[in-house]
A and B are shown apart, each in its own frame.
Chain A
Amino acid sequence: MPEIRNYTLNFGPQHPAAHGVLRLVLEMDGEVVDRADPHVGLLHRGTEKLAESKPYNQTIGYMDRLDYVSMMCNEHGYVMAIEKLLGIEVPERAQYIRVMFDEITRLLNHLMWIGAHGLDVGAMSMFLYAFREREDLMDCYEAVSGARLHATYYRPGGVARDLPDSMPQYEASRFRSKADAGKLNEARSGSMLDFLEDFTDRFPGCVDEYETLLTDNRIWKQRLVGIGVVSPERALQLGFTGAMLRGSGIEWDLRKKQPYEVYDRMEFDIPVGTEGDCYDRYLVRMEEMRQSNRIIKQCIKWLRNNRGPVLTEDHKIAPPRRAEMKGDMESLIHHFKLFTEGFCLPAGEAYASIEHPKGEFGCFLVSDGANKPYRLKVRAPGFYHLAALDEMVQGHMLSDVVAVIGTQDIVFGEIDR
């Protein structure tokens, strides 16, 4: 029998299961992983350094590009840090809109995760189902901000504009008949809230659909049950947050424990795992989707009945309305100063964090009183999860590495920053 030696395997950075640009150097003993050394930074763009050279409001767009599958949540963490240092209040309607879009973003993220995770583990069709629903949610993004992914919708002091009264429509073309377009436009005839409500009525059925495909699926369970087990103590030590922490059985959710915006008025439950393996984390995220759907419904109900401003009236921070500028000198000056110089934050430090779909997303802001951040540090949840990859895969087979990468829900935009 030939002698089996340890050897080093290079996984990625162009591996389809590496979720982007992960280069993983694996030390293998046969097919068992001895040590995993992730090499990250291939997507490092120096976001934090770029932020130091720009006025505060010009960095919001960079935040979208951190975790590029949960765009608005990143913006939320950033604008909250600014609001904390400025000490300004956000109008109530804007808070509801933010909560609603945070949850839409959570669905977007979890749908992307289930699609990619399924694809990695071998459930090809999940990707197609998940992207069908993502399409509708991205239409909501488009309706409020004009962009399907990088919205730049949140602003210090509120959101950029109110919810629109109409949805973008499909048009008949060479590839789509008039009847097909009409069918697609049925739900789009009303306002954005009507469209979203129609979606939230449909969505629990969609989650059921995914669950029939996966939850009791023999192959799915064989690939996930007992893989990448993390004990609660280790999960705390390793800096896990979000679904990774809850999967290990610790009930911790910033939306409940340190509520921001109007989460304290929302009714929802926190799913918690028991075993701390990949399968539990899968179940936790599936349940989170149902809970997010519940929160969106409550927001829609409130937003329908209550109107009001969505952006602070403080024109040192938010631009005045276009019409006001035409006749009012003061407004014109405010507009000019805001877009040429930005606004200054009082000197100080603040750390603001939100429950991002992947865990705790935080922004640590150091200001010296200037119109640009002195130092901005982004706390990306995926960074800490990936750092624990070595510990999670030790002793597992090579194919389990893929399952663990999938369960960590890794996106390199936020890890490399």
Chain B
Amino acid sequence: MNRNKLEQLSTSLQSIAGISEVIADVGEITAVVSPDNLIEVATALRDQHHFEQLIDLCAVDYSQFGATEWETGGSGFSRGVEAGSVGRLSFGDEVPEYDNDQPRFAVAYQLLSLKNNCRLRLKVYAVDNEFPVVPSVCDIWSCANWPEREAFDLMGVHFDGHPDLRRLLTDYGFVGHPFRKDFPLVGNVEMRYDPQKKRVIYEPVTIEPRVLVPRVIRNTTRREATDDSAVEKGES
């Protein structure tokens, strides 16, 4: 999208009540909405701003945002072998409780307007970290049905008003929400055929979790120097 269109869109978004923040970054616009206003804002976007299509829906778990395993500041380097990411979690490990005041779960909606040829990202932070609930947009865009089921399945975000909120991708009888950051990468159970019992049984995993490259954050200023498509640098 070109710069004019972006500015036009971000000013027209200001007129919609219920949008708490508009962020422009890398040539994209993100509008932050609270769960209470989501339905009204989404309806207004579809009917008055011609966002006919919901392209994608994505749930994000922010509980480990900014966590690293490898300190590079100060003097020298750490070895980077301390557990600190989901890659190193294994079955039965104690997972620290998320006790931050910040909302843990967010849902991002990618909208597309064919008429105006532009995109918009809606972002909703669920209020309750223990039981995240976001209203369902199935009545506004019918295609939200499956993506919402997927987000519920993988991330445990509940969608209020969804017609059929079942698990979608995981196995029948699966326990837990695998894409949450506190779910180990190697999983909790593994299954095999037991010749004695003559059936498939579930057991705790025996795979050793391993991380080949530790997670590290370095401050890079690359984008600010080269990017001219962004209207202004975003906060996130």
A interface residue numbers (CB < 8 A to B): 40-41, 44, 46, 48-50, 52-55, 58, 84-89, 236-239, 241, 250, 252, 257-258, 340-342, 344-351, 353, 360, 362, 364, 366, 368-372, 374-375, 377, 379, 383-384, 386-388, 416-417
Interface string of B98-137 (1 = CB under 8 A from A): 0000000000101000100101010000000000000000
Q: B53 to A236, Cβ gap below 8 A?
A: yes
Interface string of B78-92 (1 = CB under 8 A from A): 000000011100000
Taking each of A48, A55, A371, A386, which has the highest tally of chain B beta carbons within 10 Å of its own beta carbon? A371
Inter-chain CA distance A375–B168, complex, in Å, is 20
Q: A351 to B28, Cβ gap below 8 A?
A: yes
Question: In this assembly, does B236 line the interface, its C-beta being within 8 Å of a C-beta of chain A?
Answer: yes
Inter-chain CA distance A242–B147, complex, in Å, is 19
Instruction: Given A87-B222, A348-B25, decide whether A49 and B85 contact each other with a Cβ distance below 8 A.
Output: no
**Cβ contacts A to B, 28 pairs, < 8 Å:** A53-B85, A53-B87, A53-B211, A84-B27, A236-B114, A237-B141, A237-B143, A238-B143, A239-B53, A239-B54, A341-B216, A344-B218, A348-B223, A348-B234, A349-B28, A349-B30, A350-B28, A351-B119, A353-B55, A360-B55, A364-B56, A366-B60, A368-B65, A369-B218, A371-B218, A372-B215, A375-B61, A386-B146
Besides A87-B223, A348-B25, 17 new A-B residue pairs in contact (Cβ under 8 A), listed by A number: A53-B85, A53-B185, A87-B226, A237-B142, A237-B143, A239-B55, A252-B114, A258-B117, A344-B217, A349-B30, A349-B234, A351-B110, A369-B219, A370-B215, A371-B215, A375-B58, A377-B108
B220's partner among A241, A341, A344, A364 (CB-CB below 8 A) is A344
**Shortest distance between the CB of B110 and any CB in chain A (Å):** 5
Closest to A55 in B: B213
Q: B213 to A371, Cβ gap below 8 A?
A: yes
Inter-chain CA distance A329–B141, complex, in Å, is 56
**Shortest distance between the CB of B95 and any CB in chain A (Å):** 16
Residues of B within 8 A of A44 (CB): 169-170
Q: A377 to B58, Cβ gap below 8 A?
A: yes
Inter-chain CA distance A88–B178, complex, in Å, is 33
Q: B218 to A53, Cβ gap below 8 A?
A: no
Closest to A86 in B: B222
Interface string of B198-236 (1 = CB under 8 A from A): 000000000000010101111111111111000000101
Residues of A within 8 A of B26 (CB): 84-85, 87, 348-350
A236's partner among B52, B178, B218 (CB-CB below 8 A) is B52
**Shortest distance between the CB of B186 and any CB in chain A (Å):** 10
Residues of A within 8 A of B54 (CB): 239
Closest to A50 in B: B185
Q: B121 to A351, Cβ gap below 8 A?
A: yes
Q: B178 to A87, Cβ gap below 8 A?
A: no
Q: A362 to B110, Cβ gap below 8 A?
A: yes
Residues of B within 8 A of A353 (CB): 55
Closest to B108 in A: A364
Inter-chain CA distance A349–B211, complex, in Å, is 25
The 10 closest A-B pairs by CB, nearest first: A239-B143, A87-B227, A41-B169, A377-B58, A87-B223, A387-B146, A379-B56, A53-B87, A344-B218, A87-B226
Inter-chain CA distance A86–B227, complex, in Å, is 8
Question: In this assembly, does B68 line the interface, its C-beta being within 8 Å of a C-beta of chain A?
Answer: yes
**Shortest distance between the CB of A237 and any CB in chain B (Å):** 5
Closest to A359 in B: B55
Inter-chain CA distance A8–B176, complex, in Å, is 30
Closest to A381 in B: B55
Q: B216 to A364, Cβ gap below 8 A?
A: no
Question: In this assembly, does B66 line the interface, its C-beta being within 8 Å of a C-beta of chain A?
Answer: yes
Inter-chain CA distance A364–B110, complex, in Å, is 9
Instruction: Given A44-B169, A348-B26, A377-B58, decide whether A88 and B53 contact each other with a Cβ distance below 8 A.
Output: no
**Shortest distance between the CB of B194 and any CB in chain A (Å):** 22
Taking each of B55, B141, B221, B225, which has the highest tally of chain A beta carbons within 10 Å of its own beta carbon? B55
Interface string of B143-167 (1 = CB under 8 A from A): 1011100000000000000000000
Inter-chain CA distance A368–B236, complex, in Å, is 8
Closest to A53 in B: B87
Instruction: Given A87-B227, A239-B141, A350-B26, decide whether A41 and B179 contact each other with a Cβ distance below 8 A.
Output: no
Residues of B within 8 A of A388 (CB): 143
**Shortest distance between the CB of A67 and any CB in chain B (Å):** 16
Residues of B within 8 A of A89 (CB): 226
Q: A54 to B213, Cβ gap below 8 A?
A: yes
Residues of A within 8 A of B94 (CB): none
Question: In this assembly, does B171 line the interface, its C-beta being within 8 Å of a C-beta of chain A?
Answer: yes
Closest to A366 in B: B60
**Shortest distance between the CB of B170 and any CB in chain A (Å):** 6
Inter-chain CA distance A369–B27, complex, in Å, is 18
Instruction: Given A84-B26, A346-B220, decide whether A387 and B145 contact each other with a Cβ distance below 8 A.
Output: yes
Residues of B within 8 A of A87 (CB): 26, 222-223, 225-227
Q: B168 to A369, Cβ gap below 8 A?
A: no
**Shortest distance between the CB of A270 and any CB in chain B (Å):** 13
Closest to B146 in A: A387
Closest to B110 in A: A351
Q: B56 to A362, Cβ gap below 8 A?
A: yes
Q: A257 to B117, Cβ gap below 8 A?
A: yes
**Shortest distance between the CB of B49 and any CB in chain A (Å):** 14
Residues of B within 8 A of A383 (CB): 146-147
Inter-chain CA distance A383–B218, complex, in Å, is 35
**Shortest distance between the CB of B77 and any CB in chain A (Å):** 11
Residues of B within 8 A of A49 (CB): 86, 178-179, 185
Closest to A48 in B: B179
Q: A369 to B141, Cβ gap below 8 A?
A: no
Residues of A within 8 A of B60 (CB): 366, 374-375
Q: B222 to A88, Cβ gap below 8 A?
A: yes
